[in-house]
Amino acid sequence: MIYRETGQYKTSYESDQQLFPILQDKAFILIVLAFVFGAVPFLASEYLFRAILIPFLILALAAIGLNILVGFCGQVSLGTGGFMAVGAYAAYNLAIRLPDLNLLVVFLLAGAAATVVGVLFGLPSLRIKGFYLAVATLAAQFFLDWAFARIGWFTNYAPSGSVTAPAIRIFGYTFASPVEKYLLVLAIVCIFALVARNLTRGAIGRSWMAMRDMDVAAEVIGIRPLYAKVTAFAVSSFFVGLAGALWAFVYLGAWEPLAFDVNRSFQLLFMVIIGGLGSILGSFLGAAFIVILPLMLNQMPGWLGMELSTALISHIEVMVFGTLIIFFLIVEPHGLARLWAIGKEKLRLWPFPH
Amino acid sequence: MNIFQKRWMTWVLFGLLAVGAFAPLFSADTRLPQWLEVVLGGLMSGVLYSLVALGLVLIFKASGVFNFAQGAMVLFAALSLVRLMEKMPFAVALAVTVLIMIAVAWLIERLVLRPLVNQEGIVLFMATLGIAYFLDGLGQTIWGSDIYTLDVGMPKEPKILLESVFEGGILVGMEDVIAALISATLVAVLALFFQKTGTGRALRAVADDHQAAQSIGIPLNRIWVIVWTVSGLVALVAGIIWGSKLGVQFSLQLVALKALPVVILGGFTSIPGAIIGGLIIGLGEKISEVYLGPMLGGGIENWFAYVLALVFLLFRPEGLFGERHIDRV
Amino acid sequence: MKTSIKLKVAATAMAVAGALGLAQEVSAADEIFVPVLVYRTGAYAPNGVPWADGFVDYLKLVNERDGGVNGIKLAFEECETGYATDRGVECYERLKSKKPVAVNPLSTGITFALTEKVAADKITLMTTGYGRSESADGSVFAWNFPLLGTYWSAADMLVQHVAKKGSLKGKKIALVYHDSPYGKEPIKVLEEHAKKHGFTFIKLPVTHPGVEQKATWLQIRQQRPDYVFLWGWGVMNSTSIKEAIAVSYPRLQMFGVWWSSAEPDVLPAEAAAKGYNGITLGHSNERAAPVHKDMVKHLYSKGKGTAAKKEQVGDVLYNRGMLSALLLVESIRSAQGKYGKRVVTGEEVRWGAENLNIDAGRIKALGIEGMMQPLKTSCRDHEGVRKGRVHTWDGTTWSYTSDWYEADSKFLRPLVEAQAKAYAAEKKITPRDCSKEK
């Protein structure tokens, strides 16, 4: 009834190719943006900001990065945690060695550093495919973990190997309270989500998707595999590195290489798969699912007034988590983004399904 | 670029590997018996990695699933056995554990694989991660999360060999030797099972082509249950060996991460690949850690195994023994 | 097909509903809240569980036996961190809304992550026997309390112990350590000592979680160090001992830090672990102190105990958890002494922790005689006491095999101050003037 595109005429190619061709979609996005920027800062509690919203946003950014690689270009990577670490340590070194540099520039350069490393580890993808590549990317994960633990220069020779981020000052303004941090992260994530959306709609995104669907065929029609795969690794690593820098500076504050271990890589891959391969929206949905679900499962018995031991709660948490993963994969292998699309289709016909 | 496609490059790599392995001998402060100890230690670890890798390969061959839950199955099997042994004699506990692993295989086939049939590899892989989580939680809920001692009568004290030849002799862990023997036997039995029995032939047929196998009347579902059971039993053996070495504890499942470079090096679909890959990885890891590690600050064996596998993959993208993959448009 | 979509929508709706429910706050005005960050699952559970049992049992005991601290009951809630830093931070944030006074996260990694947060939130960070060593300097680290001893003190005492057996000149000491902030802490002090005493110091890192140590011990067999110091946690400890057996390294020459010398570390190796030593945090596996009897009387005989078995009361890590809770409770008591017998705030408990004075008489009154040495904290010194003995595993139990050692303040204090000063400079903290504090 309300969700109809009837009467919205497209009279030029530009209007047909715009980001949100349907008026209602545009309105919806604007409302959501107004809500998250305008209303959430007044509504949410400190816990919600610090423990849920900020990690959710940062991990969503990393998931977008991974989704570009896995969902759009079809190259499975298990080294995401390592690339996040590159971003985090690059940002740390830039921030303490060049204290006058604007922190936004630091974050972008951190992303650039991750890009370089990502391209380096992405090159083998020209030869190695499928699960072989997935496992081979673990080489990046373990090597980077080791490098940040062992090479003193990266941690500024901290005796314990743990480093702490400096305060977040941008243009002389210190982002200290959770609301301020939330808004900073939100702004960055929104901008880069938009960038990602447009990249994937453009020529480069199409060459990635062609590569994913069938690399030989893509090559035949004139897409250079080197260019397509390396750009996918580069863009993906940039996002992931940026997310790593934010994770370290905004969320953790102090960290050690273990914060970016192989479990982080798996967690991000879960987000991408559960959310939906090849969907920017899916990255957000997946991140929300994976961040919130364990916390919810962990606190559920408390709300229901059940007295369970901490150990049992944790065990139930992992079991239900595992089961739900399998459940979602069975009922909707294309992820939550697909559910959203189905919902929209239904809404189009509602309430007269004929 | 073309150099990557030359087959002889594999042999060059092997050559380099051999040079690398023998290189420490030319250093002034390496003594031969110590080097032999490291080599032996590496090979023994390698055999154990092969064992876990074998479970992975079996499942991948028969159902195209990259089973990340193999590590969790190792832990689950070992935990079941060690806790059951507290209440009953070893033989009974072992039998019950085997039954449990069969039940696990059957449930996985029923509840996970069957509904996911024909899905993409990555979805199945994620599903096995889900299984891994579930088994982790379940195992700890039922059996507890403490560290348990598994005593199956393995000798703990090392033996010193060749004392007459070298000063101080060569130290060999008897536990490792027995473990290696058990693994070798298991591999031989599995090879026979695959080559000589009807079920084994059916398994190979399924591995080659699901649809063709099904069309000549091989029950796909039953084959999958069998494969998962076999790999559950392999997990049990691996669990017994590692458990008696390290104690049965949560970290046991991380041996799966040790088996991953082995399977990509050897090839996902090759049983001999799992064995030779295991030996190469085990040897490479230990030699690099002992002789290269001190120069780099130590702790390198983890990534060294992966980098080693990666280098080989550049020249042989399907592993040493994996099926060659031909792309058609 | 239709039903399956409904199912999917229902599942999603459930997830969303749950997410909204996450923001809830509970607070009780007449209780003092203590968050209990523990790990009862995962790779470090065998060591995390007894500590958590001891910690919770003591809080329960105070409520049951004394009716709280000066009549104010203690409320507490466990949160599982799994020894992971990000989970720990989430737990801290979750429980923060309940106005906790002090937190003891039992993880050096989490301690690093919380150090800045606690100062902003005004919550005392107690790290009994772990944490950052330089935080002993209270003028910079106002909110951190590495009570009873830091890793630097432990390293110093271990060197004292082995130096007593003969000059260390030309000897070799290897450190087998968990490759994390925890394991790296002692390196600095051991390097300084290597210079001072003239021994060769070999660093052997072990990657988390520490089940892969064959190469490490092959190196030890080659280099034949005179002593091996073990800085492990969880399954790494028992693996180290087992691998030592596999390369025939004498257990008598192995010394663990206090986190590497408890029952879960030696039991898996059974009788072969005999002769293995550890420096203690002032206590071992004392089981018959009055406080243990109270535990049994007030908790276990009524079925209210936390540990699975009564026999676990008095295990090394159980005792450590118990003493950690005890120091927290004493800090609250000390705060109440100044601010009145009411529900105190985190800031007041910080003062309490900084002005602890637990003398021999008080130790006796607390029923922990022989498990703790007199402890006195000040603005300058947040460690309070730095004494330990070596205990040795005889195959069935631990027994003390040395006299008391006291970490050499003359040697350590300049290191602590230099490190704290560097931290203050990096974070732009102006150190407090301790002569003005009281």
Mean pLDDT calculated for residue range A100-126: 93
Task: State the total domains in chain B.
Answer: 1
Cα A36 to the center of its chain, rounded Å: 18
Domains of chain A and CATH, by start: 45-349 (1.10.3470)
CB < 8 Å from C in window 262-291 of B: 285-286, 289-290
CATH of residue B193: 1.10.3470
- C242 lies within 8 A of chain B by CB: yes
CA-based nearest distance B253→chain C, Å: 10
Predicted TM-score (pTM) of the model is: 0.90
Q: What is the bridge-based pairing of β-strands C390-393 and C277-279?
A: antiparallel
Q: How far apart are CA B242 and CA C52, in angstroms?
A: 28
Tokens representing residue A127 in the block: 């030869």
Residues pairing with C200 in the sheet: C172
Q: How far apart are CA C73 and CA C63, in angstroms?
A: 6
- Most confident range (mean pLDDT) of A90-94, A153-157, A299-303, B7-11 is A90-94
- Please tell me which chains touch C, using 3 or more CB pairs under 8 Å as the contact test: A, B
Residue B216 lies in a domain: yes
- Per DSSP, the three-state class of A156 is coil
ipTM for the assembly: 0.89
Residues in chain C: 438
User: Can you spell out the DSSP letters for B144-174?
Assistant: -SS-B---S----S-EEE-TTTSTT-EEE-H
Q: What is the bridge-based pairing of β-strands C357-358 and C124-126?
A: unpaired
Residue B129 lies in a domain: yes
Q: How confident is residue C27, by pLDDT bands cut at 50, 70 and 90?
A: very low
Cβ contact (<8 Å) for C86 and A55?
A: yes
Cβ contact (<8 Å) for C85 and A259?
A: yes
Cβ contact (<8 Å) for A298 and C18?
A: no
- Taking residue C259's Cβ as centre, other Cβ atoms within 10 Å add up to 29
The answer to whether the bond into C105 is cis (omega within 30° of 0) is no
From chain C, the residues in CB contact with B43 under 8 A are none
Smallest Cβ–Cβ distance between C86 and the set A46, A259, A313 belongs to A259
Q: What is the bridge-based pairing of β-strands C390-393 and C398-400?
A: antiparallel
- C19 lies within 8 A of chain A by CB: yes
Mean pLDDT calculated for residue range A152-165: 86
- B137 lies within 8 A of chain A by CB: yes
Q: How confident is residue C30, by pLDDT bands cut at 50, 70 and 90?
A: confident
Residues in chain A: 354
- Please tell me which chains touch B, using 3 or more CB pairs under 8 Å as the contact test: A, C
pLDDT mean across residues, chain C: 89
Is the pLDDT reported for residue A3 higher than 80? no
Interface-testing mutation among B70, B124, B129, B292, with chain A (most A C-beta atoms within 10 A): B129
pLDDT mean across residues, chain A: 89
Q: How far apart are CA C352 and CA C333, in angstroms?
A: 7
Mean pLDDT calculated for residue range C239-243: 90
Interface-testing mutation among B9, B264, B311, with chain A (most A C-beta atoms within 10 A): B264
Q: Report the pLDDT value the prediction gives residue C29, as an integer from 0 to 100.
A: 67
Q: How far apart are CA C157 and CA C150, in angstroms?
A: 11
Q: What are phi and psi of B160, to 5 degrees?
A: -110, 120
Q: Report the pLDDT value the prediction gives residue B327, as an integer from 0 to 100.
A: 64
- Taking residue A354's Cβ as centre, other Cβ atoms within 10 Å add up to 3
Cβ contact (<8 Å) for C246 and B34?
A: no
Q: What is the bridge-based pairing of β-strands C102-103 and C124-126?
A: parallel
CB < 8 Å from A in window 169-198 of B: none
Q: How confident is residue C416, by pLDDT bands cut at 50, 70 and 90?
A: very high
Smallest Cβ–Cβ distance between C219 and the set B45, B173, B290 belongs to B290
pLDDT, tens digit, 9 for 90 and up, residues C104-117:
999 988 999 899 89
Cβ contact (<8 Å) for A254 and C115?
A: yes
Is the pLDDT reported for residue C176 higher than 90? yes
Residue of B nearest to C238 (CA): B246
Q: Report the pLDDT value the prediction gives residue C13, as an integer from 0 to 100.
A: 52
CA-based nearest distance A216→chain C, Å: 35
Mean pLDDT calculated for residue range A2-9: 74
Q: Report the pLDDT value the prediction gives residue C1, as an integer from 0 to 100.
A: 40
Residue B97 lies in a domain: yes
- B302 lies within 8 A of chain C by CB: yes
Residue B327 lies in a domain: no
The percent of residues in chain A predicted with pLDDT above 70, rounded, is 99
Cβ contact (<8 Å) for C116 and A254?
A: yes
Q: Report the pLDDT value the prediction gives residue C19, as an integer from 0 to 100.
A: 47
When mean pLDDT is compared across A144-158, A225-239, C152-166, the lowest value belongs to: A144-158
Residue B6 lies in a domain: yes
pLDDT, tens digit, 9 for 90 and up, residues A215-252:
889 989 999 999 999 999 999 999 999 999 999 999 98
- Please tell me which chains touch A, using 3 or more CB pairs under 8 Å as the contact test: B, C
Q: Rounded to a whole number, what is the distance in angstroms from the first to the last CA of chain B?
A: 22
- Higher-confidence residue of A307 and B18: namely B18
Which among A256, A116, A118, A252 is positioned nearest to A185, based on CA atoms? A252
What burial class does residue C71 get, using C-beta atoms within 10 Å of its C-beta: 0-12 exposed, 13-18 middle, 19+ buried? exposed
Pairs across B and C, CB distance < 8 A:
109
- C172 lies within 8 A of chain A by CB: no
- C112 lies within 8 A of chain A by CB: yes
Residue of A nearest to C4 (CA): A331
The stretches in chain B having pLDDT less than 70 are: 1-2, 156, 163-168, 325-329
- Higher-confidence residue of C273 and A109: namely A109
In C163-268, at which residue ranges do the beta strands (DSSP E only) sit?
A: 172-178, 200-206, 227-231, 254-256
Q: How far apart are CA C369 and CA A265, in angstroms?
A: 49
Element containing residue A302 per DSSP (H, E): helix A280-303
pLDDT, tens digit, 9 for 90 and up, residues A58-81:
999 999 999 999 999 999 999 999
Q: Report the pLDDT value the prediction gives residue C26, as an integer from 0 to 100.
A: 44
Q: Report the pLDDT value the prediction gives residue A121, as an integer from 0 to 100.
A: 92
pLDDT, tens digit, 9 for 90 and up, residues A176-196:
888 999 999 999 999 999 999
**Helical axes B70-85 vs B32-63, angle rounded to 10°:** 100
Residue B326 lies in a domain: no
Q: Report the pLDDT value the prediction gives residue C22, as an integer from 0 to 100.
A: 46
Q: Report the pLDDT value the prediction gives residue C226, as an integer from 0 to 100.
A: 95
Q: How far apart are CA C299 and CA C302, in angstroms?
A: 5
Q: How far apart are CA B89 and CA B91, in angstroms?
A: 6
Cβ contact (<8 Å) for A310 and C45?
A: no
Which among C334, C318, C321, C320 is positioned nearest to C124, based on CA atoms? C334
From chain B, the residues in CB contact with C268 under 8 A are 147, 149, 246-247
The answer to whether the bond into B294 is cis (omega within 30° of 0) is no
Domain that holds residue B172: 2-315
Is the pLDDT reported for residue C211 higher than 50? yes
Cβ contact (<8 Å) for B41 and C210?
A: no
Which among A227, A181, A192 is positioned nearest to A208, based on CA atoms? A227
Cβ contact (<8 Å) for A316 and B145?
A: no
Amino acid type, C408: D
For chain A, count helices (H), then strands (E): 16, 4
CA-based nearest distance A204→chain C, Å: 33
- Taking residue C433's Cβ as centre, other Cβ atoms within 10 Å add up to 9
Domains of chain C and CATH, by start: 31-150+286-386+415-427 (3.40.50.2300), 152-283 (3.40.50.2300)
Which own/partner pairs from B206-213 qualify as long-range (CB within 8 Å, at least 24 positions apart)? B206/B62, B206/B63, B207/B61, B207/B62, B207/B269
Residue with tokens 């969907």: A279
